[in-house]
Amino acid sequence: MNSITTVHGVKLLYLYNPSDISFFGIATKNGTNYEPEGKEGVSHFCEHLFFKGTDKRTWKELNYLFAQLGVYQNAYTDSNEVLYHVTCPSINIEKTVELLMDMFFFSSIPQEEFDKEKGVIIEEKNSIDDDPKSSFEYDVIKRFFSYDKGHHPIGTNKSIKGFQRQDVINYLDSTINLSNFMYIYCGNKSLANITDYIHKSMPCQHRYFASGPLNSISNEFWNPKPLNRKFIVKKNDISQASLNMVVRGPAYNTKDYRDAAVLCRALGGGMYSLLFSRIREELGLCYNVGMSDSAISYPDHNAIYLYGSTSPKNIDLFVEESEKIIKDVMKNGIDYNLYNCAHTQCMAAILRATETSMGKALYLTRRHLYGEVCSVESMIEGFKNVTFKDCNDAAEKLFNTDYKWAILKPV
């Protein structure tokens, strides 16, 4: 049972799950898309500071209280949203909700903690920069995509070092209002119970309760600067090459999106797929190869990646064989048995992703934050309606467009 209601004007997505573990989260529509140039990483900085204490509790007191309640607390910053969330035994959800609400509405952002956290985030960025594949991913999105979609959530050394405490406060105040955040609960407590817990923990007044515009994103996709079809990055101290083929996909969670999702699973969704069968099993070119959505998913488009790793000497053959498979599917389609495998796997993937309270909440949060009304059941029903013909028709729509290759290889 799913319900959508409001508590003092704030949207609440209630998801029932017969589990003794409950999930509660607060999602804000202020991910990296909404960061002005020069302030790259401010959303992620806000996420870190969320855990640094409130007007009445220090970060250490919060950590001990959460531990005593059996809570797992975390947050993530994405291009679309920031989600602050907890999971805990359902018997402790009332107190856990109160703690998370205190952190969201009354974060104190002490100057001393702000200054220390700069160093923590720089260390986090260094760990990403030191990992060749992680830094390559950053190189790809920066090179291929428009500014709002093409910068890493963590920001740059310059932007991180330049942040002031007031920058964070101003960003939160300018991006969070009644139109741009929501609560999410998933677990075995009743809607009446959860509504009551939230009601008791909410302040009567707060600046986040102001009415305001819905944060919007541009429909730009590719970097407006001219792009070569292949983008080569060379790095020291690696032996393998990593390859990504990037193509613009259809609007997130539309019928075209589901058609393309089945097709992509047929191409690169598992050991049964065309790419795995040919490039790994028949040619032995790589350990891993596949195709998937990226995190760059929006109401009007998303990015689809073909990915793999191979020896530098095999780069050209990897690209050639991958494109040959795609061109053959565009011309001749896939066979019914392969469609049936991919079709079933798409629906099974939803069930696997939503088996737990946390999984179900994470799977549905973005969709509801952006105004889509859906459930696990409706998502599966949508995939049930993807026919063999739909899947094959998707090939022409998806790949008869501009696509790019990004290749990381040793110096």
Q: What is the pLDDT of residue 103?
A: 98
- Beta strand segments in 282-340, E: 289-297, 302-310
Compute the distance between CA of residue 151 and CA of residue 278 in angstroms, rounded to an integer. Answer: 34
For residue 27, name the pLDDT band (cuts at 50, 70, 90). very high
For residue 296, name the pLDDT band (cuts at 50, 70, 90). low
Is the pLDDT reported for residue 222 higher than 70? yes
Compute the distance between CA of residue 411 and CA of residue 408 in angstroms, rounded to an integer. Answer: 9
Q: What is the pLDDT of residue 179?
A: 92
Tally of domains in the chain: 2
> Could you tell me the CATH number of the domain that includes residue 262?
3.30.830.10
Domain identity same for 167 and 281: no
- Residue 116, CB-side half-sphere exposure with 13 Å CA sphere: 8
Compute the distance between CA of residue 361 and CA of residue 348 in angstroms, rounded to an integer. Answer: 17
Compute the distance between CA of residue 211 and CA of residue 363 in angstroms, rounded to an integer. Answer: 27
For residue 320, name the pLDDT band (cuts at 50, 70, 90). very high
For residue 381, name the pLDDT band (cuts at 50, 70, 90). very high
Residue keyed to tokens 């009551």: 196
Residue 214 resides in a domain: no
Q: What is the pLDDT of residue 193?
A: 97
pLDDT in tens, 106-123: 999 999 999 999 999 999
| pLDDT averaged over every residue in the chain | 93
**Average of pLDDT values for 162-179?**
95
Q: What is the pLDDT of residue 260?
A: 94
Q: Which of 29-33, 126-130, 161-165, 293-297 has the lowest mean pLDDT?
A: 293-297
Domain identity same for 308 and 165: no
Do the bridges between strand 21-28 and strand 181-187 make them parallel or antiparallel, or are there none, so unpaired? antiparallel
Domain identity same for 118 and 262: no
- Beta strand segments in 209-264, E: 230-235, 241-249
Compute the distance between CA of residue 289 and CA of residue 275 in angstroms, rounded to an integer. Answer: 7
Whether the Cβ atoms of residue 218 and residue 395 lie closer than 8 Å to each other: no
Residue keyed to tokens 């959508």: 4
CA-nearest of 25, 29, 7, 28 to 15 is 25
pLDDT in tens, 181-197: 999 999 999 999 999 99
Residue 218 resides in a domain: no
Domain final position from 175, 209, 243: 209
Domain identity same for 241 and 315: yes
Residue 334 resides in a domain: yes
Domain identity same for 43 and 138: yes
Q: What is the pLDDT of residue 143?
A: 87
Q: Which structural domain range is residue 258 located in?
A: 230-410
Whether the Cβ atoms of residue 43 and residue 151 lie closer than 8 Å to each other: no
Domain identity same for 188 and 284: no
Domain identity same for 204 and 295: no
pLDDT in tens, 243-269: 999 998 888 768 999 999 999 999 999
Domain identity same for 191 and 306: no
Q: What is the pLDDT of residue 141?
A: 85
Is the pLDDT reported for residue 295 higher than 60? no
Residue 284 backbone zone (phi > 0: left; psi -120 to 50: alpha; other: beta) = left
Compute the distance between CA of residue 73 and CA of residue 101 in angstroms, rounded to an integer. Answer: 13
Q: What is the pLDDT of residue 297?
A: 62
**Dihedral in degrees, nearest 10, Cα atoms 373, 377, 379, 381:** -120
Do the bridges between strand 241-249 and strand 403-410 make them parallel or antiparallel, or are there none, so unpaired? antiparallel
Domain identity same for 144 and 280: no
SS3 of the chain: helix, strand, coil, percent, to 5: 50, 20, 30
Q: What is the pLDDT of residue 294?
A: 64
**Average of pLDDT values for 68-90?**
96
Q: What is the pLDDT of residue 244?
A: 94
